[in-house]
Structure 1
């Protein structure tokens, strides 16, 4: 993972073009992110060193326990949504009620990783502005970006009036069942929101800080046909 620079972190906060003159609140946000960079990296290291494979329920909850006070300190109401009935640990939701009628924002990330406790990929290694470790990009780095953005908003005085729900699921890599129950809270939050931002996949493109606005996906299908047997030479 290449560490996210202040410009990229702040791209999560405001949508003005990079070339535009920063407003006073935006400038405060940039400075706040710069000042808190090493603290954010330390938090990333802390949660990366906690194994939180989707099936390691204790580990997923342990990551949530580290993060919950961070959101609470910003004035968010924090809720742990147990998912043991769905065969998973649970979800961490943080809600901030601001001025009625203003934009309702949903910020989405996840606590779990694909690396279960028996995975040989462990640890956190930092080399300059790069770091490697299980989940640093997918998606613990994204969670740290959310917190950095919210802290910057608080410092700039723009968080107080904001309507925000942060949804950190605990089963993104391997969803619980039934899926309707596992995703119920996220779906409800999506219906509530005017805008949703996903924090997995922030990247650096062509040497420039950028927020990703599209991503690859995957799918599977089966084709069933009926035909008579024959040899390909028959077409000639």
Structure 2
């Protein structure tokens, strides 16, 4: 019973969004073919659901939009008989960014009593995106050159996956298979900023599950992703000495100058052959054109293939932080 449900869940994960031909996903049994056809018949409804969710801005720092979208996601699960737990957002703890997260939505539907040995599934997805209200990228549109391709903030990462999740559950409910397992669904609103608040709850629920699916996008060829690269985020801040750029330039110690030198060294740590990348994504600093900048900082994204590389990466970061080329400056690292 458990393996049949696993196969059905995998099938629905692919079919629900991509609606691929049966031959592209392997041989399906009669029940799975029926589920696939039922989902194909609802493709228009899926698109309109995706359009609504994508049209609701859920940038990681848009508290109002996250609150609104959390209700959109929770309501259909409630109709399927899931018990809802809405955990209010909490402070992210990011330096210089006091904004709190959006709500964490946890929905549970235990297997009915009397169903022995029912497997427990954990289905996970995030509804925040990297596109804030200030972004011009706000609405879903269909690619005029490819009618099967939707474009919009979160279409792939990952509101499209959330549509898959919802319609898969609805199809399993209609087929009667939803009652053959226990289900927990988690929607978090802080994934794009590191899941700093939601991670502990997700890990706790994962320890109670037999099977887990994360509804991020598949590979371009449709292959399932079974693991992701490690990721780290860091804030590097440099402090210097402010001075007038004309009358007292020599007395100043430029934080921007020191940070620029450190950025070059950070980027040089990238090693594609070993799967290690450093990306300095944003830089800010200074106050006015004619003042030697006293402060500057950068946000750094780090990716790696092997968890054993984490120690090496941290050591490399610390060496750059501790070594100052511009005398009179110092650096601090958060992350």
TM-score, normalized by the shorter chain, greater than 0.5: yes
RMSD after superposition: 2.5
Residue in 2 aligned with 1:167? 186
Contact 1:60 1:170 in 2 (8 A): yes
- Conserved? CA contact 1:109–1:142, under 8 Å: yes
Q: Does 1:24 align with 2:30?
A: yes
Range 210-219 or range 101-110, more displaced: 210-219
> How many aligned positions are there?
210
Unaligned runs of 5+ in 1: 226-236
Contact 2:188 2:198 in 1 (8 A): no
1:66 aligns with 2:72: yes
1:147 aligns with 2:163: no
Over 3 Å off, 4+ runs: 214-220
* Residue aligned with 2:118, SS: coil
Query: Residues 11 and 201 (structure 1 numbering): CA distance in 2 closer, same or farther, change over 3 Å?
Result: closer
Query: Aligned residue for 1:35?
Result: 41
Report the equivalent of 2:102. Answer: 89
After TM superposition, give the deviation of residue 68 of structure 1 in Å: 1.3
User: Counterpart of 2:6?
Assistant: none
Q: Which moved further from structure 2: 72-81 or 133-142?
A: 72-81
* Counterpart for residue 176 of structure 2: 157
**How far did 1:66 drift?**
1.1
1:186 to 202, 215, 220: 202
CA contact (8 A) 1:28 1:156 kept: no
Partner residue of 2:283?
A: none
TM-score, with structure 2 as normaliser: 0.57
Q: State the distance in 2 between where 1:11 and 1:138 align.
A: 13
Alignment partner of 1:214 out of 223, 227, 247: 227
Deviation at 1:217, TM superposition (A): 4.0
**Would you say 1:109 and 2:115 are equivalent positions?**
no
Give the match's secondary structure for 1:146: helix
Instruction: Structure 2 unaligned segments of length 5 or more: list them.
Output: 1-10, 19-23, 93-99, 233-301, 303-312, 321-335
Q: CA deviation at 1:65?
A: 1.1
Q: CA deviation at 1:97?
A: 0.7
Contact 1:154 1:160 in 2 (8 A): yes
Q: Secondary structure at the match of 2:191?
A: coil
CA 1:107–1:88: 2 relative to 1, 3 Å? same
Mean alpha-carbon deviation: is it higher for 118-127 or for 165-174?
Answer: 118-127
Instruction: Answer whether contact 2:106 2:186 (CA < 8 A) is retained.
Output: yes
Q: Larger relative CO (CA 8 A, sep 6+): 1 or 2?
A: 1
